[in-house]
Amino acid sequence: MFNEADRMDGKDEKTLKKTAIVDIDNTLWQFSDAFYLELKKINADFPTPDRWCTRDIWEGYCSFEAFIAAIHRIHRRQDSDSYRPYAEARDFLLSLRTHGFHIIIASHRTPETSPPTERWLARHGLPYDELHLSLDKTVLFPRADVVVDDSPPTLEKAVEHGLLATGLLFPWNRAYACNGLRLFDNLNEVLDCILKSS
């Protein structure tokens, strides 16, 4: 699958790489477990991740500002010893590369978290071609073929762009699976889906 911009460039399709946009949190590692530990410091009654079925899980437990600050605390120390990628994350990215994908790691986080994020990716041998840290990864979609993410709004926008929208299945995206999203229990199954679709 190739996008119109590449065709407009007049390149031979056989020489063009497919582009995969790959999320970090809850795609390459279990962010939700680390996040829960942070949220429990704010309010011990915070529900466990298996009950995170809506986007407003902070409601009744903490302020939105405290919720966002907890996310930033994790991202600022991404390269902590305790934040480890999924066991199959490296092979997932290596397989994408072997099959000719240009890999853009794209995470919803602020640019100043780039150093710990880059150190984490390097430390765990996670290969990629570009790193995109911003609050709107959809700007990448016009040059993408595949989006791997867990966020329902992000995946639904990928579907709107005609892209393969896939990722790991969680309580917060389960209800959206019928909207064209391809959600699976592990990255090996996500990889199978991508390779069979490309």
Please state the length of the chain.
Answer: 198
Q: Which DSSP string do the residues of 167-197 spell out, in sequence order?
A: EE--TTTGGGGGGT-EEESSHHHHHHHHHHH
Cβ atoms of 25 and 49 closer than 8 Å: no
Contact of 184 with 193, CB cutoff 8 Å:
yes
Number of residues that bind Mg ion (CB under 5 A): 4
145 is a contact residue toward Mg ion (CB under 5 A): no
Rounded to a whole number of angstroms, the minimum distance from the CB of residue 25 to Mg ion is: 4
CB 172, CB 150: distance < 8 Å? yes
Write down the least CB distance from residue 16 to Mg ion, Å. Answer: 27
Minimum CB separation of residue 107 from Mg ion in Å reads 7
Residue with tokens 């500002």, as numbered in its chain? 65
Binding window for Mg ion (CB under 5 A); candidates: 7-15, 121-129, 146-154, 155-163: 146-154
In the list 3, 6, 19, 23, the residue contacting Mg ion (rule: CB under 5 A) is 23
Residue number with CB closer to Mg ion (6 or 128): 128
- Cβ-in-10-Å burial (0-12, 13-18, 19+) of 103 comes to buried
Residue 24 beta carbon to Mg ion: minimum distance, rounded to whole angstroms: 7
Q: Is 137 in the site for Mg ion (CB under 5 A)?
A: no
Tokens of 141: 């979609």
Interface pick for Mg ion out of 89, 150, 158, 166 (rule CB under 5 A): 150
Q: Is 19 a binder of Mg ion (CB under 5 A)?
A: no
Residue 167 CB, shortest distance to Mg ion, in Å, is: 8
Is residue 166 close enough to count as binding Mg ion by CB under 5 A? no
H or E, element range at 71: helix 64-76
Q: Which is nearer to Mg ion, 25 or 145 (CB)?
A: 25
CB nearer Mg ion, residue 100 or residue 130? 130
SS3 129: coil
* Contacts with Mg ion, residue ranges (CB under 5 A): 23, 25-26, 150
